[in-house]
Chain A
Amino acid sequence: MTKVSMTVDGVRYDDDVEPRMLLVHYLREVGRTGTPVGCDTSNCGACTVLLNGLSAKSCAVLAVQADGAEITTIQGLANGEWHPLQQAFHEEHALQCGFCTPGMIIAAADLLRDNPHPTEQEVREGLEGNLCRCTGYQNIVRAVLRAASEGAPS
């Protein structure tokens, strides 16, 4: 067991974990089950979180590698009211089953941090590491463009 300490959605956790434990499993174990696991090869991006402000697939990070980090999951993104991306996803019907949504929104937040005014093609390319099986991505792209036009903070 190895000691880790990290802040997840504003709450500090100190725990002993197996060195092999994936960050996503650790997050789910401390009750942040809003972040799901969709694959085992880091292709789908459902588990994407912000790790020290940058998007990371939490299935491709060991919990011990996140020692000392600040993590934001989908459950910590809203600040009293919904994040503009959450609002835009709702209004543009950018989710159906919703399983990819946490990772998709977090990845989009990082995309807009990096490029606050992307073109449609830049959104499409920027989100290609996050797979969705329901929407065909069209409304996801619309939602991200809408949030960008409304000046979404990252």
Chain B
Amino acid sequence: MTVTTEIGKPRARKEDARLLTGQTNWTDNIVLPGMLHVCYVRSPMAHARIRSVDVSAARSAPGVIAAFSGADFAAEQGSLPCAWPVTPDIIIPAHPPMATDEVRYVGEIVACVVARDHYTAADALEKIDVDYEPLPAVLDMEAALADGSPKVHEAGNKSFVWPFAQGDIEAAFRDAPVVIERTYRQQRLIPCAMEPRAVVCDPGGDEFTLWSSTQIPHVLRFLAAAVLGIPEQNLRVVAPDVGGGFGSKLQVTAEEFLGLLIARKVGRPVKWTESRSEGNLSVHHGRDQIQRIRLAADSDGRLRGLSVDLLADMGAYLMLVTPGVPLLGAFMYNAIYKMDAYSFTCTGVFTTKVPTDAYRGAGRPEATFAIEHAMDDLAAELGMEPLELRKRNWITHEEFPFTTIAGLTYDSGNYEAATAKAVELFGYDDLRKEQAARRASGDPIQLGIGISTFTEMCGLAPSRILGQLAYGAGGWEHASIHMLPTGKVEVVTGSSAHGQGHETAWSQIVADRLGVPFEDVRVLHGDTQVSAKGMDTYGSRSLAVGGVAVVGACDKVIEKAKTIAAGLLEVSADDLEWTPGRWSVRGDPEQGRTIGEIALATFAAHNLPDGVEPSLDSESTYDPNNFSFPHGTHLCAVEVDTETGQVKIRSYVAVDDVGVVVNPQIVEGQVHGGVAQGIAQALYEEAAYDAEGNLLTTTLADYLIPSSADLPTIVTDRTESPATSNPLGVKGVGEAGAIASTPAVVGAVVDALRPFGVTDVEMPCTAQRVWRAINEAKGGAR
């Protein structure tokens, strides 16, 4: 009769049609009547005082409508917002969208040209004269914290210190039979979404429309209104098709604010589209932390305590959630393991580099890397099989719900099942035998096995907890449903997709809940004029929060339909029963009305019960009562050529438990992409600066994101422990792969080299670094 099995179906995606045929709506495709083009002058110095900016020659160039320096916006541009003041005494420096008196990283905006076309604007940039007085660059976090270091900001280079402790950490380490002390480094990464950012702003009358390649149209609207003083009701923000984000478009940017200000000044629509090299210099970067880890254990491997001391590079300014990113890891270093005590301290440090902020996983990949690496190191110290060490310490499936040492309550999971499945798919025992044989024979190609038994926290987040963490907003999500007279359904979601497949997955949820055909559901998002409320897409939250809001809205539609159906059928509502798609009389199923019939009758409104408003529409705002905790076991085998240092991934198995799966094809795709990004951190990518603070990796010729030839085929499988904290049982999957894979790959590289005395290889594990690590361990040349 009706569709009831949509959840779990590998539906091909609705959004594909336009993307496959080029009928796309990227921000850069937008052309408006009279539209002008903006290009920015960016600082070529890591740190300098701006003595003067002369834009007069640019202003008089043919085809140029205007040119501005920071002074032109000083009165109105405000400061780019940081929404996460993590401590009461945090230093949040002023961050003008266009620098006025000092620049603090190569790439910071100092001036702009507005011209009739992009080429003309780009040409005129060269006519702008900026006089800089060089100041010392500050690049290294430890040096930045040393006495006498040059200052990035007058108030100092230390933004905040955030401590957290649970249990008696002194006691845990006192007399501990084994203590592992390590320092790991999370290199700086560039997110590199394939679509470069673009902004179009139309200052029509007293209202503004801002199109931006953003993950967060709702947050952007709120903050642009709050900071720039544009009445919120007069500001529409649209995120059209957005070509990937990975956290990099979870930002409120200088270019968005300046787009609004420039459009207002020139009174015409303006467009800015970044080049890739401009993007690498100005899109926020990711990671960049130094992790000092101490792990105490009994001689049988049981964990006693974990101490984490983190230095996190903020870059030059605090952007939207910059200081909060490393702290998202604070609750994850203990991972799936039981222990007696835990302490964590994070120091946020300013340097004269591009600001850092969220990048796929945001805090959790760093934590997972450190604990999994430390567990391997502890296993090596104890001479114990690393899987066995994990088994001795992990939370068993009977123990859920389990409150961890970090204070989170994990609702569900089954680490034993996921690990058992992964071990079997991987052929773990055979690979260990082969490894032993290669070690015994002195094979120049050594085999390494890496293990990542990870968990993460997703579904950001219960608003109350965000408040306790000093985050500036809530963690709810909104959805509404419009029942159309023909029985078709419009769903409006506050989650703003950029590749995740919301249009498909949300259609499946609604089809399942309302019992309407998948094809009859249309999902709308990403335009504040259509979707007025939302908290947007990041932190693997869309399904676990936004999807649940859709369920809530469906349930309200069903309840409203019940009253109206009762009137139409002239029976008591208590006598009706719901089967997906239809209210019918209990005991007399022939007597009933489908949801489509009820929608039409509601539209006509001729025969509704007294006091019932003629609408089936509904809205729902869902605030989760807990995070969700996807987990899994990823295993990686690498072959390391010990003569050249070359690393080749031989096999990779990912068994993920993301709770209930709405669309397995989408879930698998998210795992593939996440694993690829984590492998990229492990083996390929690094944002490199020279000693003067110039970014060396400004293009895709220098910043090497992996190609199809660089990546392995990933074997995926799942276990399913439904989340108990939401009615869908879902957990989130956007970041799992990126969180799990980096430690699995690096763990495999180190595992291959342990017989040489190697205990770590700094990421990315390039051939040169691996070769050096081997030779250093042998006491040879570096």
A contacts, CB < 8 Å to B? 18, 20-21, 25, 28, 32-41, 43-44, 46, 73-75, 77-78, 82, 86, 89-91, 93, 95-102, 105, 120, 123-125, 127-141
A-B contacts besides A96-B244, A99-B193, 10 pairs, CB < 8 Å: A20-B119, A28-B29, A33-B26, A41-B701, A91-B12, A99-B195, A120-B713, A125-B709, A134-B244, A136-B674
A102–B22 contact, CB under 8 A?
yes
Check if B298 is an interface residue, CB within 8 A of chain A.
no
A38–B246 Cα gap in the complex (Å)?
A: 16
The verdict on A95 contacting B26 (CB below 8 Å), with A90-B12, A134-B244, A135-B669 known, is no
Check if B609 is an interface residue, CB within 8 A of chain A.
no
In the complex, chain A residues whose CB is within 8 Å of the CB of B494 = none
B672–A32 contact, CB under 8 A?
no
A127–B707 contact, CB under 8 A?
yes
A102–B244 Cα gap in the complex (Å)?
A: 15
A137–B680 Cα gap in the complex (Å)?
A: 13
Check if B517 is an interface residue, CB within 8 A of chain A.
no
A98–B196 contact, CB under 8 A?
no
B12–A95 contact, CB under 8 A?
no
B24–A34 contact, CB under 8 A?
yes
The verdict on A124 contacting B709 (CB below 8 Å), with A37-B28, A93-B12 known, is yes
Check if B243 is an interface residue, CB within 8 A of chain A.
yes
B699–A39 contact, CB under 8 A?
yes
In the complex, chain B residues whose CB is within 8 Å of the CB of A98 = 15-16, 18-20, 24, 241, 243, 499
In the complex, chain A residues whose CB is within 8 Å of the CB of B28 = 33, 36-37
Check if B500 is an interface residue, CB within 8 A of chain A.
yes
A137–B22 contact, CB under 8 A?
no
Check if B666 is an interface residue, CB within 8 A of chain A.
yes
B194–A123 contact, CB under 8 A?
no
Name B241's closest neighbour in chain A (CB-CB): A98
Query: Can you show 6 pairs from A to B with CB atoms below 8 A apart?
Result: A38-B196, A93-B12, A93-B13, A98-B20, A98-B243, A141-B708
In the complex, chain A residues whose CB is within 8 Å of the CB of B701 = 41, 43
CB distance from A146 to the nearest CB of B (A): 13
A82–B194 contact, CB under 8 A?
no
Check if B498 is an interface residue, CB within 8 A of chain A.
yes
Check if B600 is an interface residue, CB within 8 A of chain A.
no
0/1 per residue, B712-737, Cβ < 8 Å to A? 01100000000000000000000001
Report, nearest first, the 3 A-B pairs whose CB atoms are least far apart.
A34-B22, A98-B19, A97-B499
The verdict on A133 contacting B22 (CB below 8 Å), with A44-B700, A93-B669 known, is no
CB distance from B505 to the nearest CB of A (A): 12
Check if B673 is an interface residue, CB within 8 A of chain A.
yes
CB distance from B584 to the nearest CB of A (A): 37
Name A73's closest neighbour in chain B (CB-CB): B22
CB distance from A138 to the nearest CB of B (A): 5
Q: Which residues 2-52 of B sit at the A interface, judged by CB distance below 8 A?
A: 12-13, 15-24, 26, 28-29
CB distance from B226 to the nearest CB of A (A): 29
Name B16's closest neighbour in chain A (CB-CB): A90
Check if B386 is an interface residue, CB within 8 A of chain A.
no
Check if B418 is an interface residue, CB within 8 A of chain A.
no
**How many residues of chain B get a CB closer than 8 Å to chain A's CBs?**
58
A18–B119 contact, CB under 8 A?
yes
A35–B22 contact, CB under 8 A?
yes
Name A123's closest neighbour in chain B (CB-CB): B708
Name B741's closest neighbour in chain A (CB-CB): A136
A82–B20 contact, CB under 8 A?
yes
In the complex, chain A residues whose CB is within 8 Å of the CB of B669 = 93, 96, 134-135, 139
Name B246's closest neighbour in chain A (CB-CB): A133
Q: Which of A95, A128, A133 contacts B677 (CB 8 A)?
A: A133
Name B672's closest neighbour in chain A (CB-CB): A136
In the complex, chain B residues whose CB is within 8 Å of the CB of A86 = 20-21
A18–B119 Cα gap in the complex (Å)?
A: 10
CB distance from A133 to the nearest CB of B (A): 5
In the complex, chain A residues whose CB is within 8 Å of the CB of B707 = 127-131, 137
A124–B708 contact, CB under 8 A?
yes
CB distance from A13 to the nearest CB of B (A): 17
A86–B19 Cα gap in the complex (Å)?
A: 10
CB distance from B586 to the nearest CB of A (A): 42
Check if B676 is an interface residue, CB within 8 A of chain A.
yes
A101–B19 contact, CB under 8 A?
yes
CB distance from A148 to the nearest CB of B (A): 15
A123–B499 Cα gap in the complex (Å)?
A: 23
Q: Which of B20, B275, B670 contacts A90 (CB 8 A)?
A: B20
CB distance from B19 to the nearest CB of A (A): 3
B194–A136 contact, CB under 8 A?
no
The verdict on A89 contacting B711 (CB below 8 Å), with A39-B276, A97-B193, A97-B194 known, is no
Q: Which of A36, A89, A93, A138 contacts B713 (CB 8 A)?
A: A138
In the complex, chain A residues whose CB is within 8 Å of the CB of B156 = none
A28–B271 Cα gap in the complex (Å)?
A: 15
A14–B348 Cα gap in the complex (Å)?
A: 58
In the complex, chain A residues whose CB is within 8 Å of the CB of B65 = none
A133–B243 Cα gap in the complex (Å)?
A: 10
B13–A90 contact, CB under 8 A?
yes
A123–B707 Cα gap in the complex (Å)?
A: 11
Q: Which residues 459-510 of B sit at the A interface, judged by CB distance below 8 A?
A: 498-501
Check if B192 is an interface residue, CB within 8 A of chain A.
yes
Q: Which of B19, B246, B498, B676 contacts A136 (CB 8 A)?
A: B676
In the complex, chain B residues whose CB is within 8 Å of the CB of A133 = 192-194, 244, 246, 673, 677, 705
Q: Which of A25, A43, A136 contacts B714 (CB 8 A)?
A: A136
The verdict on A41 contacting B276 (CB below 8 Å), with A73-B22, A90-B16 known, is yes
CB distance from A139 to the nearest CB of B (A): 6
A99–B244 contact, CB under 8 A?
yes
Q: Which residues 115-159 of B sit at the A interface, judged by CB distance below 8 A?
A: 118-119
B244–A40 contact, CB under 8 A?
no
A131–B193 Cα gap in the complex (Å)?
A: 10
CB distance from A63 to the nearest CB of B (A): 12
